[in-house]
Structure 1
Amino acid sequence: MGTFQIEGGQQLSGEIEPQGAKNEALQILCAVLLTSEEITISNVPDILDVNKLIQLLKNLGVKVKKLKSDTYSFKSDELDLNYLESEQFKIDASGLRGSIMIVGPLLARFGKGYIPRPGGDKIGRRRLDTHFEGFIKLGAEFRYNKEERFYGVEAPNGLKGEFMLLEEASVTGTANIIMAAVLADGTTIIYNAACEPYLQQLCVMLNEMGAKINGVGSNLLSIEGVKELQGCKHRVLPDMIEIGSWIGLAAMTRSEITIKNVRWDMLGIIPTTFRKLGITIERREDDIHIPAHTNGYEVQSFIDGSIMNISDAPWPGFTPDLLSILLVVATQARGSVLIHQKMFESRLFFVDKLIDMGAKIILCDPHRATVIGHDFKSQLKATTMTSPDIRAGVSLLIAALSAKGTSTIHNIEQIDRGYENIDTRLRALGAHIERID
């Protein structure tokens, strides 16, 4: 288990370039299974979850070539489908939640797909019903081995287009159903589809491959099935979650930081939401510039004067992956804010570690926390803690970088799952952080 040792209280400065988007990369990588032709993907982040998925694809028989540090080619012309029923596959796939998205492409192209119950962040129950209900609507037969916790779908006679109204706007569920539907016979209509930038990018790539998807960017998708798809080249977006993390880092450490090449058109209400905490965000062409908040930052209130309430919602609402960052940033704001985590039931349970550091937080219930800001009149104090998941881990890291003294964070593999070489990149900004194996 790896550890970060952080000497906090340092003011940082400089420029940082966001990595490729983790959530998009996981979808795009699964889509290479839809064709036997070569696909080239650039701006692929070098992080644990993505590297695990690439290795799983290799084990399945995908020919993978690393062309540059962030660019790969994939060719899925000779797959070993027997691997899907092996014990090794159960081990490989169960440690990565993103592995669920190989089922749709395999079902579409080969008429069958299997997956063990996938792992991932411990942030509460994350149902897979949307995925499999969608496959069943398309004509697949579903089976579940309760003893081995192993899921399977089969469609030996192919899939047929169908109208479906999704019970929830699941991002991975929508992606999986889209990838199954692009090779189905007829037209599939998906209503209440997720429409995050990751999904938009997946649809753009599939259309480049010859798919016929209309309504991209909305929650109503029309997919006209085609017989086959071809290869293409695709570039992954910069990671909007990492961009939000750097905004939070700059505010908490009162540092002047420029985030380069952020794709403003794909950030939605992320900048607006950080501004609600009083953070100054300047647009400089396609960069974000955060000046040093030497006088702190003040939480806004609603028009009627009531306390600010920030909650997550499906896109184009505020992404739940950044609520943990906002919560940490609020601990040093001037004023109070209610953070309402609606979508996951255990994601706020890391706040006890912030309370240990001296933060004023009232955990109202598993979904709501009230934060009373210190206005930098009282620094957080260093402590020893363990990272519970990717986003909480980075939030605790930001807290440690702003705290007085030397903090220790264990289980940093959770952070490495989503952030590329984070200690090296933070040191380039002036942070005092060391990795201890």
Structure 2
Amino acid sequence: MKKILVFALMLSSILSQNIYACTVISYALNGEVYAAANEDDDMGFARIWFNPKTTERYGSVCFGLPDLQAQAAMNEYGLFYDFTAQNIDPAKYHPKNIYNGDLFFEILGKCKTVKEALVFLEKYDYAISSQVLIADALGNSMIINAGTKLTKSGHYQINTNFDISNLKTKNYSCRRYDISDEMLKEAKTINVPFLRDILNRTRQEGKLSTIYSNIYDLKRKIITVYNFHDFEHPYVIDLKKELTKGYRLEKLSNYFPASFAYEQFSMSDRAMYRKEMILDEINAKGLQPTLNHYFDVNKVAVKKDSTINGVLLEIGIQLIKDSYNQHANGGIWEYWFAMPNGFKIENFNDKRLTAATEIFNYLGTEKDLDVKLKNFILELSAYVNLIQGDQQRAKEYYGIAASNTTDSWPISFNRSRKMLALL
């Protein structure tokens, strides 16, 4: 097993940002209120997940990549947000009161309007490197980054990849912003075909591509989705109806016809593509039969597959992310991102956690395993044992993973030390 492959996959899940990624728009005119966005990235496999209302949270739908961070979302009241990547360093604004988890996902669950969101934000410093546009069904919107809050002053607002505070002085360069602005300022009516045209004209292709495009009718809570700049085949979501069906997490591409262009783009990362194909196999043939097949194939193979163990490790991690997303009513696995709320000791059971444990146990027995990778696997094993109630084994594994910083990756080492202090 190559530690470079596995650690690169892990870091890409945690740290990837594309500085020319995404175009986000809000528009209110003649009683109609919309938001629209192109989501741009260098990998496919987008997810959609529906989160029904609970006693603590409003119902919502979220869109994102396999790490299950909500890139874009709308709740049952039509409160919407979406991010663009930036070069803004929050540290230069000296944030002090930082929210312990996913700030905007929390806002999604607790607020109905931009006004309510701003009240919530008064409690916390914005310590996120990206820039967010937040809009509501009343026609209000605001663009926020670590140093700026800019309220919409006319009919529309646009968020791309420059600090929005530079808009006043026109100290920016972004054709996607200019194209959107030119079209929006001339608009007499607002509807899905018009916004689709804007998204089509501002889409990106190449290594960094528009993965999906969304148009949100914030008053009616209807979302029109397009996959990989194919604007001929919309997937229309009636959020109110979908939330009555319960929680679910799915690949967004499942709602669209096959596309050679999308498949070729997705295959550019062979390890990630293979992981996603095995996940599809799990959905088709069942979790345990699929895993047993790959365990057995690699055990008896005359020539070992040099990538399968790395792919299996990523599958184990994905199973935890998926399981935790359902447990957290649509929230991210905060422990993976080393967020303070992620270090709560909690217990729940899920067959996906059991399967992840089996994967980590299998990988941990490999001969000639790099010590850093072994400690990383032990840390993950510790976590899944802990949340399934085996605190003693968790403590043992965390102890090994945290025993020597030179033998552990920093992220894994620091998480292990924090958990040991709590056990």
Q: Given the two structures, how large is their TM-score scaled by the length of structure 1?
A: 0.30
Structure showing greater relative contact order (alpha-carbon pairs closer than 8 Å, 6 or more residues apart): 1
Normalization by structure 2: what TM-score? 0.31
